[in-house]
Amino acid sequence: MTSPFPLLRVPNLPLARIIDFMEPNELVPLSFCSQKSHSVIKTLRKASCDEHLLVGGSEKNVLSILFKNFGCVLSTTDSAYISSFQKEEYVKLGGQQVRVKFHRLRNHLITYWEDKLTGLEAITDYVIDLFNIDVSEVCISKYSFKMIEWVNNRQTTPLKKIVYMAMAWGPCSSEDEMNYILKDCRCSSEILIYSEAPPNFRFLNNFRRIDCLDISNSKWVTIDNLLSMDGIDIILGSSTLTSSDMNVFLKHWLSGGCPRLKLFLARIDTVDVSQLLDGLVHNAVLVVDRRDYTSPFGHIRTLPSGVDIRRADGVTATVCYQQTGKLVIAVWPETTYNYN
């Protein structure tokens, strides 16, 4: 059946079913059709409990709103990128007429703005209101840094995840930005920093409780910083920690520090096993069996061999130095983390 269909004359119950069959990226253009189509989606759509809204983006010119496990539903870009051959199409968004284009390959609407960050705020407002959902994650760069605060001021639920990505050609993050992410901003679960810290940066405070901390360039992380962490997954790329530091951390864990730890992973140039296991040999059992380990936050590691050390409460961790230069501490048993 390809002929027109008066959708809004369908009774509410089947109409709700139709809306539930539609994907978020299809509902957004439908919501722009009329006030009634907007209110029908807003009132009849059943939100799935595993829906998570992500705001931001790592693309150079595009900032987007995405549903995790689905994809982009609406994006914003600079109005300078409008092609003169493009047919003019506008939608009413945030009280103003906004130029849009439907991306046929990606199947979502692109909105054009003079300032794409203002656009991102406007489309975020629109999507939050339409789908009655809070933002779970922000993926920001230096340019869109203020989105963390904007989102946190807009909603009562704290962000679950913050990803700070520096663009390859962009400047490194500032001390203020680093301190804000690590110390001040409201985030309940994951912080991922994929950015160069400023030279000589030092974090002088104690780490707050962060379930998953992933720092791609962690040269600034000291053993004192590490001892103050309380995380489940701790990933430190390009670390300057030494074998002796790791020995201190292992003893800290054995004596009850960092009690929630499941996976610790640090890229360390060389490991001196005698320094690493200094004072722990009596507790270390060599394991040669190859094992796979999946952390609560989905990091998957293969442990070709290693030593098992056991805490007084019976919990065992495997310490393994991989040829890729990564030192892994995997705490057994494996557990899965419920995002909700």
Partner 1 sequence: MTSPASSSEVKYLIESSEGNTFDVSGAALRQSNTFNAMFLNIGADGPIPFTDYNEATLKKVFEYCEHSVNEENYSGPKHQDDLSKWDLNFFNEMDQKMFIDVINASNFLDIERLTSYCCERIARMLRGKNTQEMIKVITLPTAEELEAKQKVEEKKAAAAKKVAEKAAETAEKTETLEELPVQQLVQTTRNKLTRKYLSFSNE
Instruction: By CB under 8 A, name the binding residues for partner 1.
Output: 1-11, 13-14, 17-19, 21-22, 26, 29-30, 32-34, 37, 89-91, 100, 102, 104, 107, 109
Of the pair 108, 301, the CB lying nearest partner 1 is at: 108
Of the pair 108, 160, the CB lying nearest partner 1 is at: 108
Token readout for 249 is: 């951390």
Identify the CA nearest to 291 among candidates 300, 303, 306: 303
Report the DSSP beta bridge partners of residue 288.
none
Min dist. Cβ of residue 310 to partner 1 (A): 48
For 148-165, give one letter per residue: b (16+ CB within 10 A) or e: bebbbeeeeeebbbbbbb
Of the pair 123, 328, the CB lying nearest partner 1 is at: 123
Cβ-contact 216, 164 below 8 angstroms: no
Cβ-contact 164, 181 below 8 angstroms: yes
179 burial via Cβ count (<10 Å: 0-12, 13-18, 19+): middle
Of the pair 1, 288, the CB lying nearest partner 1 is at: 1
Min dist. Cβ of residue 23 to partner 1 (A): 8
Min dist. Cβ of residue 119 to partner 1 (A): 17
Of the pair 109, 263, the CB lying nearest partner 1 is at: 109
Min dist. Cβ of residue 3 to partner 1 (A): 5
Cβ-contact 318, 332 below 8 angstroms: yes
Q: For Cα atoms 23, 28, 79, give the angle at the middle one, nearest 5 degrees.
A: 130
Min dist. Cβ of residue 35 to partner 1 (A): 10
